[in-house]
Amino acid sequence: MKLSVAIDGPAGAGKSTIAKLVGKKFNLMYINTGAMYRAVTLMAIRENINYSETQKLCQLIENLEMHFDKDKLIVNEEDVSEEIVMPNISKNVSNYSAVPEVRELLVCLQKQISEKYNVIMDGRDIGTVVLKNADFKFFLTASPEERAKRRYNELIAKNVEVDYNNILNDIIKRDYIDSHRETSPLKKAEDAVEIDSSFMNIEEVVLYISNYITKNM
């Protein structure tokens, strides 16, 4: 039986950690679509391509071979997983991901993957655009302060020097750009189950989602 799960929500809500764990439980391929937008941002910055240079951006994407190898994102045979989560990419990714042509190309790739495999995908437009007919849709939120605290702890654990207030401001700015852009803005799909994880830990959210899926399968 084909199974697809969509998880959307703002930056730092815990989507990727939770999606990975739920994916393992139900044997689903985990697709981190944010990582794909981050990879495009990284490659564009390396090539000095601004987000306003649409044609160059499209050419760049057409020459990228992207695939997931377990938790790692491989782009043109290079593991970019560590580099794409660095603050410089976080700061720029909303601008690149707001470009309609960039979205069109990546959404097409995401749909192709979901046709081949049972997937759990996380992002901003999964329940509304990429997997409109997903079997299960969840919208994960948490307060900006809680999300900034989680990102801060993640980066500190990786020995990256960061400032909490900078992260909080970046999250607030990204929330704004992601939910106000013209093409597929971040919003809850009408049929998605909303979960506010501000006062829940990872295990509690995973259990909630897993029980929901099992009960409604």
Interface with ligand DC (CB under 6 A): 11, 33-34, 37-38, 93-94, 97, 123-126, 174, 178
Containing H/E element for 32?
A: strand 29-32
Q: Which is nearer to ligand DC, 180 or 211 (CB)?
A: 180
Q: Are 8 and 122 in contact (CB under 8 A)?
A: yes
Tell the smallest beta-carbon distance from residue 23 to ligand DC (Å): 15
Shortest distance, position 24 Cβ to ligand DC, whole Å = 19
Nearer to ligand DC, 124 or 150 (CB): 124
* CB nearer ligand DC, residue 60 or residue 126: 126
Identity of the residue, 101 or 217, whose beta carbon is nearer to ligand DC in the bound complex: 101
> Which pair of tokens denotes residue 141?
């939120």
| CB 84 within 8 Å of CB 75 | no
Q: In the bound complex, what is the minimum distance in angstroms from residue 214's beta carbon to ligand DC? A: 26
Q: Which is nearer to ligand DC, 18 or 125 (CB)?
A: 125
Q: How far is the CB of 111 from ligand DC (least distance, A)?
A: 12
Minimum CB–partner distance for residue 1 and ligand DC (Å): 25
- Residues facing residue 121 across a β-bridge: 6, 31
Is the Cα dihedral 47, 52, 56, 62 positive or negative? positive
Q: CA-CA distance, 98 to 15, in Å (whole number)?
A: 20
Q: Where are the beta strands (DSSP E) in 65-123?
A: 66-69, 72-75, 78-79, 119-123
